[in-house]
Chain A
Amino acid sequence: MAFLTDAAKRWRVSIAAMAMLFVMAGPASAQWLNVPLPGTPRTPDGKPNLMAPAPKTPDGKPDLSGIWHADDGRYLQNLAGNGVEVPMHPWAAALYKERMDSLGRDKPQVRCLPHGVPDAMLVTAIPFKIVQTPNELMVLYEEFNQYRQIFTDGRTLPEDPNPAWFGYSIGKWEGNTFVAERAGFKEGTWLDNGGHPHTDALHITERYRRPNFGTLELDVAIDDPKAYPKAWKAATIHFKLLPDTELIEHLCENEKDAVHLGGGK
């Protein structure tokens, strides 16, 4: 490279940049991957202003609507935080160890079953969409085309509900924090990729804040006395907004992948 003049080097760099432009611009214009969304605050050059204040609904509450993804994968393996050990009842500790030792081979999603809560929001590359309406807040998970409804119309959690993969959720505002309570879970999901287990006694409290247009923060408290002697808290999870884009359909296609695992073609 030393024999190239500065001008030649610049020329090579610009050729590489142009090649990348073609690579990126092609698919981008053909999909709804880049679509200017109304209501997005913008800087003078037209880019989304992620540092702008969080939007508000007509009644003055923060509006959490948007497409979000975890800002990195550090929560995914261990919800409690890197290296943090959560005290468990012996059966739960044994199950957790088995899941860790087998490197997550038997995760429910390998068979196209749902991620647990809040695991479903933790995969960095797969976003979810929040749609906030006056009486409910909807969470649309891109992965597996799943959804969750958090009712804000004043109802209480159902008593003795039919157990559900995503449980039952109600929410209310405490100042600028949205507090969701979830219960009524079916057993079988993992709380995180590492495999923290839960039972049907699981009760989750989530506290969401949107400090600015581009950031969502979530604190999660796990209360499951059948699995954990004490309630515990996850490390604060940070989500980033994906501006000017849309979710993409993602159906888990008939466990097609399962045939490959273990060397199959």
Chain B
Amino acid sequence: MRTTLAVFVAGLGLLLSAGPALAHHAFAAEYDAKKPINLTGTVTKLEWANPHTWFYVDVKDDDGKVTNWGFEMGSPNVLLRAGWTRNSMKPGEVVTVEGSRARDGSTNGNVKAVTLASTGQRLFAASSQGQ
């Protein structure tokens, strides 16, 4: 148990210290922190790849119209260190995404956290915001 706890504490430390993560491109050039998004929908695809993990979610609006959103997270490495695996989120799962919308108004966003509807688990997405 002690070992597990040490692993947990080390992991938590990394999670906290990971903070602003982005190296590849500038958050502010692509995303607008003043346009927060909080959307729930069904994952359609996951691209677990460097330099950024992307996933796509079908979001239904009040009129029943479905829009496929694209969401950017940190690199797989940063996500691994924050407790993710490539199997943490699968196509078909219902997720709630918190983040910031693309500056150009497209249906893309940068993700701060993902909550899995099946378990209620909230995973931090190694967002680049703030850097």
Chain A positions within 8 Å of B, measured between CB atoms, are 19-21, 23-31, 33-34, 45-47, 72-73, 76-77, 102-105, 107, 109-110, 112, 115, 123-126, 142-144, 193, 240, 242, 244, 248-253, 256-257, 260-265
Of the residues A29, A115, A264, contact of B23 by C-beta under 8 Å: A115
Interface of A, secondary structure class, is loop
Query: Are B26 and A193 in contact, CB atoms less than 8 angstroms apart?
Result: yes
Chain B positions within 8 Å of A, measured between CB atoms, are 2, 4-8, 10-12, 14, 17-26, 28-30, 47, 49-52, 54, 56, 68, 70, 72, 74-78, 80-81, 83-85, 102, 104-108, 121, 123, 126, 130-131
Q: How many Å lie between the Cα of A25 and that of B17 in the bound state?
A: 18
Chain A residues contacting B81 (CB-CB under 8 Å) are: 33, 125
Query: Are A27 and B85 in contact, CB atoms less than 8 angstroms apart?
Result: yes
Of the residues B6, B72, B80, contact of A46 by C-beta under 8 Å: B6
Chain A residues contacting B80 (CB-CB under 8 Å) are: 27, 31, 33, 248
Q: How many Å lie between the Cα of A33 and that of B104 in the bound state?
A: 37
Query: Are B8 and A24 in contact, CB atoms less than 8 angstroms apart?
Result: yes
When C-beta atoms are compared, the residue in chain A nearest to B84 turns out to be A27
Q: How many Å lie between the Cα of A142 and that of B12 in the bound state?
A: 21
Chain B residues contacting A123 (CB-CB under 8 Å) are: 21-23
Query: Are B72 and A260 in contact, CB atoms less than 8 angstroms apart?
Result: yes
When C-beta atoms are compared, the residue in chain B nearest to A17 turns out to be B8
Query: Are B50 and A28 in contact, CB atoms less than 8 angstroms apart?
Result: no
Query: Are B25 and A34 in contact, CB atoms less than 8 angstroms apart?
Result: no
Q: How many Å lie between the Cα of A256 and that of B126 in the bound state?
A: 19
Q: What is the CB-to-nearest-CB distance from B81 to chain A, in angstroms, rounded to a whole number?
A: 6
